[in-house]
Amino acid sequence: MQATLTYNRPNHFAGISIMICVLLVVVGVTMSHAITKHGENAIRVSDCMDNKGPVQEWHNAANNHTIYICQIEPTVFGLDVLFQRDGRWERLTSFIKEKFSRIEQVEQYLTNSGATRVK
Q: Per-residue pLDDT tens for 72-119?
A: 999 999 999 999 999 999 999 999 989 999 999 999 999 999 999 998
Range of 10-14, 18-22, 68-72 with top mean pLDDT: 68-72
Give residue 18's pLDDT band: very low, low, confident or very high (50, 70, 90).
Answer: low
With a threshold of 0.85, does the pTM exceed it? Answer: no
Q: Residue 7: pLDDT above 60?
A: no
Strand order of the sheet with strand 76-85? 88-96, 76-85, 65-73, 56-60, 116-117
